[in-house]
Each structure stands twice: as C-alpha cells, then as structure tokens.
Amino acid sequence: MNESIKLIFDKSAKEDILEFLNKKLDDNGFIVEKDQPFQKVLTFEGEEISIKELGGIQKGSEVFIKNDLISLMRFSKR
C-alpha cells in the first residue's frame, strides 16, 4: 500500500509556525528575524523567501525551503 501524507497549511498556520521559530513577516510578506526585522531569512540558495513561497523548514535548523520544484528537489538530495 503506497499512501502518502500531505499537510497543507494556510497563511495563518504558517505565521503561527514562524512565531514559534522567533520569526515574523515584514510589510512585503518576507520572513524576517523577529528581533532584527531588517534581517530576512534565507533559503539553501541564499535567497530571501516570502510567506507565499514557503514550502517547509528543515528539521533541526532554520533552513527555509521554497515551494517550487527545483528547491524541493535540492532539499530531497541533502
């Protein structure tokens, strides 16, 4: 039996998760450090990431993953 589990979060749930990680959104919807709101978080590729692009956060770290195919493929190879 090949069942896959898929979790989908809406924007408010994503914001709650960011809150637990001491992050928040800036005025443009980019994820930033709560204590240093001018410091945006980065993806594996060193890119800034918005809440719309958030596909996941690597366990045990603060590596943010975009929800596009290339980013997800790169993540799966790590």
pTM for this predicted structure: 0.72
Inside any domain, residue 57: yes
Residue 48 included in any domain: yes
Q: Chain-wide mean pLDDT for the chain? A: 84
Structural domain boundaries enclosing 46? 11-75
Q: Find the mean pLDDT for residues 22-27.
A: 95
Of 10, 43, 47, 48, which Cα lies nearest the Cα of 28? 48
Is residue 11 scored above 80 in pLDDT? no
Q: Is residue 51 part of a domain?
A: yes
Q: Is residue 66 included in any domain, yes or no?
A: yes
Q: What are 34's two structure tokens?
A: 């709560």
- Is residue 27 domain-resident? yes
Q: Give the residue among 70, 36, 77 at the shortest CA–CA distance from 53.
A: 70
In a domain, 46, yes or no: yes
* Model confidence pLDDT, tens digit, residues 39-74: 999 998 899 999 999 988 876 667 788 888 888 778
